[in-house]
Chains A and B, each alone.
Chain A
Amino acid sequence: MAGIWQELPRFLTWYNGIFLLNALLNTLLLSIIGCLAGGTIGLSLAIIRCARGRAMAVPRAFAWAFTEFFRRLPPLVVLMLAFFGASVARVDLTLFQVALIGLCLIATASLAEIVRGGIVSVHPNQWDSAAALNFGYLRCVLTVILPQAWRVIIPPAISFMLLFIKDTAFASQLGTLELTYAGKVLTTKGFSAALSYGTVLLLYFALSYALAGLGRRLETSIGIPADR
């Protein structure tokens, strides 16, 4: 442990600071873009999956298969699928973009399932009233069902997003420069693992803890009792 104090002056350089900050920013970007894209696509998939009627059978089956497949895979498998998929398809993407695609797939599947849970939680009589008033499916979902489903969707969605920040760590296995990868780089530069990964853990903690607090504030502000 004493070793850490000795290497600390060498560690706390301007250069390392910028390096870690950049990595932290990338982790944040992966998390935010992943959640936004995953939220948007997941919402669409959930809406498709809840549609009735034979005309929607094929899109519905696709949405079902996509959701059930990707949320039953470890993040690392999805990321590797994205990585090798991109190389097989010969599309020229940066490692960051590849990781982002993989992470979006993960977030999409999980958030689609969470939104679906919210949609089915709304009392069926709301669909009846809307249908009797000539609402189409999409209008009913958007103006009647989702506004009531949010209270059910938001708590698990926030929980997922907080877990998702930690899942972005697997992007390091593709060589994407984010916090975890930065830790690896620091150890190869000769800093002790305790200091390198300790710092990385600390940065993750700050990020996740701050966002968890934000999530709790959001929940209480929309009137969901905080019990976590």
Chain B
Amino acid sequence: MELHKSTAHELHNLLVEKKISSLEITTSIYERIEKLDKKINSYITLTKESALQKAKGVDKKISKGEEISSLSGIPIAIKDIISTKEIRTTCGSKILSNYIPIYDATVIEKLKKADAVILGKTNMDEFAMGSSTENSAYGVCRNPWNISTIPGGSSGGSAACVAADFAPLSLGSDTGGSIRQPASMCGVVGLKPTYGRVSRYGLVAFASSLDQIGSFTKDVRDTAIILNIIAGHDSMDSTSVPEDVPNYTKHLINNAKNLKIGVPKEYFIKGTSKEVEKTILNSIETFKKLGAEILEISLPHTEYAVAAYYIIAPAEASSNLARYDGVHYGYRTKDEGRGARDGDISAIVDMYERTRDEGFGDEVKRRIMLGTYALSSGYYEAYYLKALKVRTLIKNDFDEAFKKCDVIITPVSPTPAFKIGEKISDPLQMYLSDIFTIPVNLAGLPAISLPCGFSSEGLPIGLQIIGKPFDEGKILQASYTFEQNTEYHLKKPKLN
């Protein structure tokens, strides 16, 4: 039995039927990681010892006949931007290379309570800034479908490890597309829930008003299962919403009749590859055949989203990342204590500057400077306030559109996975590759990326389904229906 290929719900059934133990599952996954992750580099840190311990504990519970949760004994990988007590949390950065948190993120507490087995921490663009997982201080992560291409980013490690069967499922974070874009490029299911649906407590902040934790899974059922575990109000997060969490598995209904799907004309633009466009149109056709009603809609401010995003996100980031200064935790320059050399600054400022210069990569520095500039004296209104107003326009576009339809379908990324190094020296081109995912974050909406086809080079292509706020249920229903009637999610990359 090839355990590593199984979904979480398949493994759960095997555990409940006592056909297999959590220890066997966990051991076999580690064997595969140890054998093959050299090629992919999807993990930064593995936590084998504690994982095996946990697996044994779950097995004991099962043997005693105790009731177990849907994720009990199921291995899971965690993006290295989520705080894990006693497990190093680097955010893909040198500046946190030695940082061991003293507290668990709320989602980790929930996973621990559900007895999930944490395999390790996955590779990512430094502080989630990037769309290719090339900006990692721990080496580039590669796409299991073709190791000369990127896995997408910033949650590249979390997407790649699920695609490569190094974990049945994983957690990631999405600020401008960081779950959906790598999910699309790695051919797995990636959900970014509504802003406020999943607690951000313990998610290391990149852009606080946009960040949201979500999941990578091998099918839509697993997405519903893990959302059931991680969603919900948290008193530790003032932006978490005190709304009831439905049982998402109840939304796994194979039925697209009466489903009103909006297709925004602004998402079919120059610069999108013909293959991607064709694949998406085919998927729309599939929905139509399944009885859905397709409507053309308009989201007129789409073309301004990237520009607004690249003010708001860097501005918040410049403040969020100010804390990495070598004082209370994390990396500190080895060159401190020699004091100020140019006489202009004090020894402490010299230490700050050296620590941050040595600890941060170029993309992080670029965004910190961009954000600092946008907030600096005299520019606040022209940049930051302007961007917040454009954000309102973009949000209003969606509100209008959702008066007519239940969900919106778009491409996830204009192209399939690109080659490693292809865009790394051109930041703007890299930023523009998130053009279809960014508006969703600005509006705080839930959206999924679903495997919907392959390029001529055999690279996966994803379909984005966007829902109304807190209507993850509809997204899951649409996705489940699509998945039940297609076979894209069953295809696996060859990794030997």
B is a partner of A: no
